[in-house]
Structure 1
């Protein structure tokens, strides 16, 4: 599942400062997406969806039978201090009915020149209308991660889209932090979002089972170890 880096670079140049865009083309029975945000529903939000640099992008090829294959680069390693990362994935997505479906797949995180950072994820989930519920398991370097995702879509009573994520991290080698030995920890986050006059607003709160001096052992999904509230506003240029 190796795609030319030149293709990723061309896509990434569409998105300086991480403005979202998707370019869609039909290739016979196949649908090709090139964009600056991950296109897979379960991979986005469940399996490391964030972008790590100003230059990022990827491509995604899917077939009506449900099979898809793609590659996403959250960082092309162009800016000083950043490393290139290639996320290659393959999966299958199908619907039981108009509103109910499932998805499963695997994704490989590669770091050219830094193979000790490579890892593998498997993910699976159910979709119901605009709602998604999923699980991912990964063998990251020096630990095993499991993540649960519940994306409820837009809840009319709140006027916002709501998603919840919970992660468990089991360390291969326990570490000392805050005067105690830590072999595992949990983290979680709640995200609310809604568009307003062409601007996408995201509100999120995150926390973990670690606190105080124990936070020196934290390396989970969240930006901060302890309770953290953030507000983000973004607008697509095209």
Structure 2
């Protein structure tokens, strides 16, 4: 699952695309379509590997209306569901498709806000009795001068955890340009999984992004979690919450 938001990679890229858009008259704001495609050496969502430490390709597109309303879609290859397959219970899903809509704006000068709903969808076949991983979250965020605090609340079971409705994720991030084209990326998050012993955990990140002309960027980040090995070790015996480095190559359009 994007056992995270398109915010970690895609959001940064879309943000750069929006910043790079042509200026328009103040009394005639333009609606825009922005997007990106990224390649990563490992797809992490909320600190957990979704591809068992293998590369992923991640396209995304978003329509931003002049009013502040937006709608978008994002996708990636994954393996965390098929990794859980057994001879007796086969799971075929290998793709994540995300759909979202919301409203963003600002007030009091430098304070920004963003509210919306996000759907994580995993097409494929599942064995009888398997709790589907499809997840719907509502979210709200406030930002001020590079600092963003975001809260996501699950309206459904969370990524296949039975009985986990109303789980929540809190994300605190700080992104600041410290030199022309260079951005420092800091993040700390807390995933609360309701009614599932040992499934709640924290994750964090330190990274840097270098922006180039024509929408290209390169990001390098160090990620880690305190997730329980007994809960987040896959069928191959790999702990998906271990410390790791992620390299991202992206192109905004």
What's 1:132 paired with?
148
Query: Aligned in 2, Cα 1:111/1:205: closer, same or farther, shift over 3 Å?
Result: closer
CA contact (8 A) 1:46 1:136 kept: no
Counterpart CA distance in 2 for 1:106 and 1:47 is: 18
Note the aligned Cα RMSD (angstroms). 4.4
Cα distance in 2 for residues equivalent to 1:84 and 1:196: 28
Structure 1 stretches of 4+ moved >4 Å = 20-26, 45-48, 50-55, 196-199, 233-238
Distance 2:206 2:93 in 1: 27
Matched, 1:189 2:204: yes
Distance in 2 of aligned mates of 1:148 and 1:225: 17
Any idea what the Cα deviations from partners look like across 1:122-161, whole Å, max 9, x if unmatched? Answer: 111111133322111223122354222222112749x861
Within 5 Å, which residues of 2 pair with 1:1-238?
29-36=30-37, 54-75=56-77, 83-114=94-125, 116-138=132-154, 139-140=157-158, 141-142=160-161, 143-144=164-165, 145-154=167-176, 156=178, 161-170=184-193, 172=195, 174=196, 182-195=197-210, 200-208=218-226, 210=228, 215-218=229-232, 224-226=240-242, 228-230=243-245, 232=247, 234=249
- Displacement of 1:47: 7.7
TM-score (norm. length: structure 1) = 0.61
Which structure 2 segments of 5+ residues have no match?
Answer: 1-12, 39-43, 83-91, 127-131, 234-238
TM-score, with normalisation over the residues of structure 2?
0.58
Q: Give the secondary-structure state (helix, strand or coil) at the position aligned to 1:56.
A: strand
CA contact (8 A) 1:171 1:183 kept: no
Cα shift at 1:191: 1.7
Deviation, 1:186, is: 1.2
Say how many residue pairs are matched: 193
The CA distance in 1 between the partners of 2:117 and 2:252, in whole Å, is 32
Where structure 1 has 5 or more consecutive residues not aligned to the other structure, the ranges are: 1-19, 38-44, 175-181
1:106 to partner: Cα distance: 0.6
- Residue 107 (structure 1) shift: 0.7
Whose strand proportion is higher, 1 or 2? Answer: 1
Indicate the residue corresponding to 1:12 in structure 2.
Answer: none
